[in-house]
Structure 1
Amino acid sequence: MGILLIPFNGIAQINIGDDLSKINYERPVDYIIGGIEVEGIKYLDKNVIIMLSQLEVGERVKVPGEEITNAIRKLWDQGLFDNISISITKIDAGKVYLKFYLKERPRLSKFSFEGIRKSEADDIREKINLSRGEVVTDHLLIRTTNIIKDFYSDKGYLNAEVEIREKPDQAQENFEDLVIRIKKNRKVKIAYIDIVGNHEMSDEAVKAAMKETKTKGLFNPLDSLGPLVINLGGDAIRFKFKKFRDDFLDYWTDNYKLRIFKGSKYIEPEFENDLELIVAKYNKKGYRDAHITGDSIIEIDNHTIGIKIFLVEGNKYYFRNIKWVGNTIYSSAFLSTILGIQKGDVYNKELLETNLNFNMNGYDVSSLYMDNGYLFFNATPVEVFVENDSIDMEIRIFEGEQARIRNVSVKGNDRTNDHVIIRELRTRPGQLFSRSDIIRTQRELANLRYFNPESITPDVKPDPAKGTVDIEWNVEETSADQIELSGGWGYGRIIGTLGLSFNNFSIKRIFKKGAWRPVPSGDGQKLAVRFQTYGKDYLSWSVSFTEPWLGGKKPNALTVSYYHSRYTNGRPQDDPLRSAFITNGITIGIGKRLTWPDDFFTLYNGINLLFYDLTNYGSIFPVGSGNGNFNNLSYEVILGRNSVSAPIYPRNGSEISLGLELTPPYSLFTDKNYSDISDDEKYKWIEYYKIKVKAYFYFELAE
């Protein structure tokens, strides 16, 4: 017979066979376990099963008793079995012999999805991380369901339904397939957000602080239009212009809410962050005690919810007295000027921290010290007295000793040679530490375009005892070379273009064995080749080479380029009806980095020489007879300033250039009347000048 010990969801019991003479259920008897057998398992180790039960041969137990009941519970808690039973096979000489019979839960063969697109299934497959052979436990099913629901919840599908069906695998015993059926349902959008407790800021101002949690868009131009016209007319007649404005704004707010860049969805972690942003906005306006007291989510229907946010604004505070303590290098008056906060200004802790430690838009106190070597500088603002709406601050300064740079190293440059990086560093051994030099070096390394700009990080290792600092620059090589392969339509035919640009080239390694991988690289030189054609009638190619550090000591860039193009009507060269326009050009230029007005300025000087050879081109290019050789010799000078933060995805800075290109004034060197001479003679040497102005400004639209 069987005795059920514990009300499990599956089957867990103890069987004692047919001989009950030695078992008294009212008076349990102590026995020594004489042996334990395990049956029914295929994939698990029997010794592990006995160990998990915490029963041991030689252990004294009561039969019936808690020890065997607990053994069943411990095995059941593993979630690996559908059926557990413990049988007494024999009782002899004070010993009891037990047999465990276990039926293992099925294992996963494969799983599939229903109701969703393949791309979504691929994303979910990575998140649930199921693999063949896993035991299909209740925990596994619940965990999988929750992961999928969270996946869709993050996309705004708060009511997604997940059903997992288990199907036996006909090809393998005790294996099963999982069919995961997903019904996303409609996205849940936010119908309204009510703010409760705000008096100093309007509802719209509070909601504007939230970056991710937005109400759904509205466009109801006809709703309340009649009452609006009546109200506005009455306001105008009675000269109540403030009420006129308020009535119109209320109408606009209630009926026009466009959502172009940000959709409406509720995601709990983002909502929690938005609540913090509300408090931060109040703090910036002087409400240092503002806090959220609670929030509630109201389900309107299956696809819309409402949100209520309860807050306490508190009192508005102002800075009163700001005292500097511990400063010896700079005077308190000078530090207050750098801090930029006056007595009576609205209390703003974020502004205080920014102007003390790191101000992206200007100077700060920390930069003042750290750019002068005071790496160990620290400023701690403390509220020392609060009276009514005024706060007295004490800023406690620890200046420390100046730190000099001891060692500078570079790590991660597998292709780029060390000297290419070192020559761009503003942090040199022996110099005083400067935070501005650290920031500028990051920019210069990013502008090389050899490294991932997001991974350029300085590892600053200070040694306060010695007053020194080691700096290790960690870089991550990225692909600097470019290939251009394009096709376009022009002149009634397809034009093909092939371009190769090697931006980290090494000309001195051309003949070095093993350097062609695929081209010699590592010295920061640039080699570019470009070829364009639409057949035998048109051919154009160019090649250019740039050495950014001519001589290796100063950043003077030498650029040499050659250009050739040929347009023809396709006739052979010996055909008298052949038309051709052939251009050959060469450019030599020197670019230099300036130190005045600041070291963001550059100056470029270049000489351009072009030769034009025309044959029977008068009908196509109506200048002169269409035959002959023409020349263009010009000088070009460009003054530029580039303070862009990053070359690929700039966040701030500007790029401005002013250029002048001109030819020699040939007309001043001759007595010929240019209005009377032929075009062939007039344009033998082309005369002109050009002024070019370019300006680009970059700033962040949003954080």
Structure 2
Amino acid sequence: MRVKNTFFVFAVFCVAAIFSAAPVFSQTDSEDWFYGKPIKNIVFDNLKNVKQGDLDGVTSSFISKPFSDDLISELYDRLFSLEYFDDVEIKAAKNADNGKTVNLILSVVERPVVMKLNFDGNRYIHDADLKSKISLKAKDIFVESKVLEDERAIRNYYIEKGYTKISVESSFEMRDDGAYVTFKIREGRQTVVKSIGFAGNQVVSSKTLKGKISLKEAGLFRKGSFQESSLSADSRAIVAYYQNRGYADAKVVNIDQKTSYNEQKNREEIEITFEIQEGIQYNFGGITFDGNHVFTTEELENLVTLKTGAVYNETKFQETRMNIQNLYYENGYTSNRFATDINKDAESKVISYTIRIQENPRSHIENIIIKGNEKTKDFVIRREIPIEEGDIFSNAKISNGMRNLYNLQYFSAVSPEVLQGSEENLVDIVFTVEEQSTTSLDFGFTFSGVSDPGEIPIALTARIQDSNIFGEGKLASVGTTLSTNEQSVSLSYGQNWLFNKPISTNISLSYSHSNNYALRDKILPSGDIDNDYYYMQYEQNQFSLGLSLGHRWTPNFAILTLSGGVTSSLINNLYDDSLWIPYDTSISQYSDNWEPRNSIWTSFSMDGRNIAWDPSSGWFASQRFSWYGLMHEGFLPFAPDWGENEFYLRTDTKAEKYFTLVNKPITDSWALKLVLMGYSGLSFQFSALDSTIKKNNQLYIDGMFNGRGWTIYNSDKGRGKAMWCNSLELRMPVIPGIFSLDLWGDAVAITDEPYQFFNLKEEDWYFSFGPSFRFSIQQFPLRLLFANTFKIKDGSPVFTDQDGDGDYNWRKNWNFVLSFSMTNR
């Protein structure tokens, strides 16, 4: 079966089915075995340049579905929409299960690849710059339509640079090894702005108006490239500036252009003069409403952002008009009509308006359509949208669904669109999503203090996780830690929905082995006293099993999550008890025998961030309670010796807030954005009566996520039962969604006991600061920090060593820290 395009595919398929003439999908009694059988595998034959993995996202949604003509037609449509193949032939094959399932073998003929890209005639712009602007790349599959798109991209790039006479023609030659593409360029001369002037402006200075337009004069640090399209945009900017200051009649009546050739610089130079008619300044006389019954006049007047009697401002009036329309829109009135009558009194210099409203019945949702998802199943997306077919339209619920979809972290873009339905009061909602990889690989290494000089003070960590297995919204991960004194492996599996409800479940299993040092009793088991050594070494093996259950609610203001779970561990400590007696009895409790250690926890969180993994606005708050120790000795009849000797409560309170301080467009594709982030976390541990919390289980400054830059967690100073962590970051996205440059500062206080927290002293605080390079890719949340540490002594900052005792020059106190951007949940 040879196929040239989607329509031809479908036509040939139907004819073959009717006449039973197709060799592959014959419908005779002997050869129609595959109809209705579930598809087990889809494999490709003859792939050369296209990778099988690049096609899994297309074919994965067909796995397990029953074979049918419609299904095969849909598969063809998806394959040809990729524009990778000229021909496709599909064969059905039986599996080893006697034909209970079907294997599909797709024999393809790939389109040729791009072997070389040539640029001919470009003198002033380099090949590398032009290649960065086009979509075709060497070794890509050749798609003819992309050549025409790249023609336009090159032309637009030249126009941005001021080459107004640019012409681009493309051609390609097909050879045995692939396609050779050539772009023939006639650049012409560059046109730059020599001068910009204004005529007729009396109220506003020419200098002020120059600052409001995008065209700039050529100078020492400005190229001054001329773009014809900028003239109309700059005219609107001038008029808008006047109208926002009450000059409602202001207009640009003419743009005078004089062009001359600069032979010395071989360029065209243009002199531009904007001729302005300013008019008179108006005050605002208010708004009256006609036809409003759903909302009272008082409710509508509360949306007016411009005070009566103030200088008229066109932007604020348009904001008012949009606020009124949005009020109706958000409450389901999408088919209302709004007419605005302007009442302008030139004699009294007052502008007022009448807004006439034609109220129609509320609109209902006719269809919810999902587009762009190749891997993620439709039901996974639909269940996150809190509106269904037949519901009254609600813009707030659509925004809520958009937020929920972003927080899944499956999509890099989510775009809802409201379209007219089959009748006036029916609408269709189209959610177009752009999928991204949901498989993440986290790896890194940390330097840690060790007691044995022969050990390497490096710990390697790695974890692979897929948060959207088979496109069904399920999560699985595998992680490991490797160092000379610790090895661990962990597995987890979870999902966010259960019984078609937003109920999350998770199960985790882990094993770890570590070599540890602990204080020992100076009295040896033999009765002798040894004052020469204070520490003993022991090995610890630990198996852990964790189970959790949670429920989510999605009101408009935030995502609310209530969770709870239990963690059970079996611990075995190995050491020679004929030689050593540990000072900490919790170590001897687990000596040479597997003993339990259990905890139960519950948490509640409120997430009002716009995007959870890289917010620019919003807030987050959470509270978690964990109780450690569930089994006293004798709790289990069949194991009366089993029991725990650590019983304590841990509380963790977290809050974070995000502000966008600056968001100023610099170019068409990049804006200077500054985001301020503040975080505060407070943790306490309260031990039960007759119970202690050993040092290894106390709170600590890890130097990687809190108190970044400090490495004191192996010392008494870095551990305690009360800790207050604070962070402040100024973030500047360099490439949004890719990486960001940040300035950060941490302040962490830790005390031995909770009651001491309410009387914090200077020496309890640890400060650090510096710049960082942060990846904002969800699947690669790595960040590299350049950290400096200091403490406060006698009211002044002292840059100290890691023990906090030295006094060093701050220039020599910088260290690199490898960390991860962890998202609070």
Q: TM-score range by the shorter chain?
A: 0.5 to 0.7
Name the SS for the 1:437 alignment partner.
Answer: helix
Partner of 1:478: 435
Cα shift readout 1:612-638 (whole Å, capped 9, x = no counterpart): 5544599xxx97489545776555444
Question: Following superposition of structure 1 onto structure 2, how do residues 219-234 of structure 1 map, counting pairs within 5 Å?
Answer: none
- What are structure 2's unaligned runs of at least 5 residues? 1-117, 137-149, 170-181, 449-455, 517-535, 591-595, 634-642, 666-825
Question: 1:238-257, aligned counterparts within 5 Å?
Answer: none
Question: In the TM superposition, what is the alpha-carbon distance from 1:152 to its structure 2 partner?
Answer: 4.0
The residue number in structure 1 matching 2:620 is: 656
TM-score by length of 1: 0.55
Deviation at 1:397, TM superposition (A): 0.5
Matches of 2:409 and 2:151, distance apart in 1: 45
- Quote the Cα distance in structure 2 between the aligned partners of 1:624 and 1:396: 80
User: Post-superposition shift, 1:425?
Assistant: 2.1
SS in 1 for 2:248: coil
Residue 658 of structure 2 is matched in structure 1 by: 697
SS at match of 2:663: coil
Conserved 8 A contact 2:396-2:556: no
Give 2:402's match in structure 1, choosing from 442, 446, 449.
442
Q: Provide the C-alpha distance between the structure 1 equivalents of 2:569 and 2:217, rounded to a whole number of angstroms.
A: 60
Supply the AA of the counterpart residue of 1:120: D
Distance 1:419 1:123, change over 3 A: closer
The answer as to 2:510 corresponding to 1:563 is yes
What TM-score do the two structures reach when normalised by structure 2? 0.48
Q: Deviations over 1:207-258 (max 9, x none)?
A: 443357487688xxxxxxxxxxxxxxxxxxxxxxxxxxxxxxxxxxxxxxxx
Greater share of helix residues, 1 or 2? 1
Name the CA distance, whole Å, in 1 between partners of 2:367 and 2:275. 55
- Give the aligned partner of residue 316 of structure 1: 281
In structure 2, distance between residues paired with 1:427 and 1:597: 12
CA distance in 2, matches of 1:453, 1:149: 28
Equivalent AA in structure 2 for residue 399 of structure 1: E
Q: 1:348 to 1:501 in 2, by over 3 A?
A: same
- Asked if the contact 1:487–1:496 (Cα under 8 Å) also holds between the matched residues in 2, the reply is yes
> Cα deviation per residue 1:164-208 (whole Å; 9 max; x = unaligned)?
9xxxxxxxxxxxx999898999xx987876555544445554344
1:552 aligns with 2:503: no
Q: Is the 8 A contact 2:250 2:277 kept in 1?
A: yes
Report the counterpart of residue 372 of structure 1 in structure 2.
331
Q: Report the Cα offset of residue 552 of structure 1.
A: 1.8
SS at match of 1:351: helix
Change (3 A) 1:485 1:435: closer
SS at match of 2:308: coil
Correspondence 1:525 to 2:498: no
1:172-251 maps to which residues of 2 (within 5 A)? 197-203=200-206, 205-210=208-213, 213=216
Q: 1:154 is matched with which residue: 157, 160, 169?
A: 160
Shift of the alpha carbon at 1:339? 3.1
- Note the aligned Cα RMSD (angstroms): 4.9
Q: Does 2:506 correspond to 1:503?
A: no
* Code of the aligned partner of 1:154: E
Select 1:351's aligned residue among 301, 311, 316.
316
Report if aligned partners of 2:609, 2:620 keep a CA contact under 8 Å in 1: no
Contact 1:445 1:451 in 2 (8 A): yes
- Aligned pair 1:396/2:360, yes or no? no
- C-alpha deviation, 1:382, in angstroms: 1.6
Q: 1:326 to 1:145 in 2, by over 3 A?
A: closer
Task: Give the counterpart letter for 2:653 in structure 1.
Answer: K
* Structure 1 counterpart of 2:495, one-letter code: E
Separation in structure 1 between the aligned mates of residue 617 and residue 387 of structure 2, nearest angstrom? 22
Task: Give the letter for the 2:435 counterpart.
Answer: T
Distance in structure 1 (CA, Å) of the matches to 2:576 and 2:274: 78
Equivalent residues of 1:615, 1:627 under 8 A apart: no
Alignment partner, residue 387 of structure 2: 427
Structure 1 residues 401 and 270: alpha-carbon distance in aligned structure 2, compared to 1, 3 A threshold: same
Number of residue equivalences: 472
Q: Match for 1:544: what amino acid?
A: S
Paired residues of 1:443 and 1:645 also in contact (CA < 8 A): yes
**Pairing 1:28-39 to 2, within 5 Å after superposition:** none
Alignment partner, residue 255 of structure 2: 294
Change (3 A) 1:504 1:322: same
Letter in 2 for 1:155: K
Question: Structure 1 residues 403 and 272 mapped into 2: Cα distance closer, same or farther (>3 Å)?
Answer: closer
Equivalent in the alignment of 1:120:
129
Q: How does 1:603-614 map onto structure 2 within 5 Å?
A: 603-609=562-568, 613-614=572-573
SS class of match (1:119): helix
How far the C-alpha of 1:398 sits from its partner, in A, is: 0.9
| Residue from 304, 329, 336 that aligns with 1:339 | 304
Aligned residue for 2:435, secondary structure, equals coil
> Once the 2 structures are TM-superposed, how far is the Cα of residue 599 of structure 1 from its aligned partner?
5.2
Preserved contact between residue 248 and residue 279 of structure 2 (Cα < 8 Å): yes
How far the C-alpha of 1:695 sits from its partner, in A, is 0.9
Q: State how far apart, in whole Å, the 2-side matches of 1:125 and 1:365 are.
A: 43
Report the secondary structure of 1:346's partner residue: coil
| Cα pair 2:305 2:319 within 8 Å, conserved | no
Per-residue CA deviation, residues 459-509 of structure 1 (Å, 9 max, x unaligned), is: 442512xx4x1424343452342231645464647765443222222xxxx
Q: Secondary structure at the match of 1:339?
A: coil
Preserved CA contact (<8 Å) 2:365 2:392: yes
**Counterpart position of 1:269:** 229
**CA–CA separation in structure 1 for the residues paired with 2:315 and 2:664:** 18
Q: Whole-Å Cα distance in 1 between the matches of residues 153 and 321 of structure 2? A: 44
Distance between the aligned counterparts of 2:333 and 2:462, measured in 1?
53
Query: In structure 2, what residue type is equivalent to 1:558?
Result: T
**Other-structure match for 2:721:** none
Q: Which has the higher strand share?
A: 2
Partners of 2:407 and 2:659 lie apart in 1 by 16
Amino acid at match of 2:491: V
Greater C-alpha Rg = 1
Instruction: Output the amino acid matched with 1:448.
Output: L
Amino acid at match of 2:289: W
Of the three residues 238, 254, 259, the one matched with 1:278 is: 238
Cα deviation, 1:95-152, whole Å, max 9, x if unaligned, reads: xxxxxxxxxxxxxxx874676644135468989xxxxxxxxxxxxxxxx999978744
Q: Deviations over 1:12-36 (max 9, x none)?
A: xxxxxxxxxxxxxxxxxxxxxxxxx
Matched AA of 2:657:
Y
Structure 1: runs of 5 or more not aligned:
1-109, 128-143, 165-176, 219-258, 358-363, 506-520, 570-576, 671-681
What is the CA–CA distance in structure 2 between the aligned matches of 1:336 and 1:524, rounded to whole Å? 46
Percent of aligned pairs sharing the same letter: 21
Q: Secondary structure at the match of 2:664?
A: coil
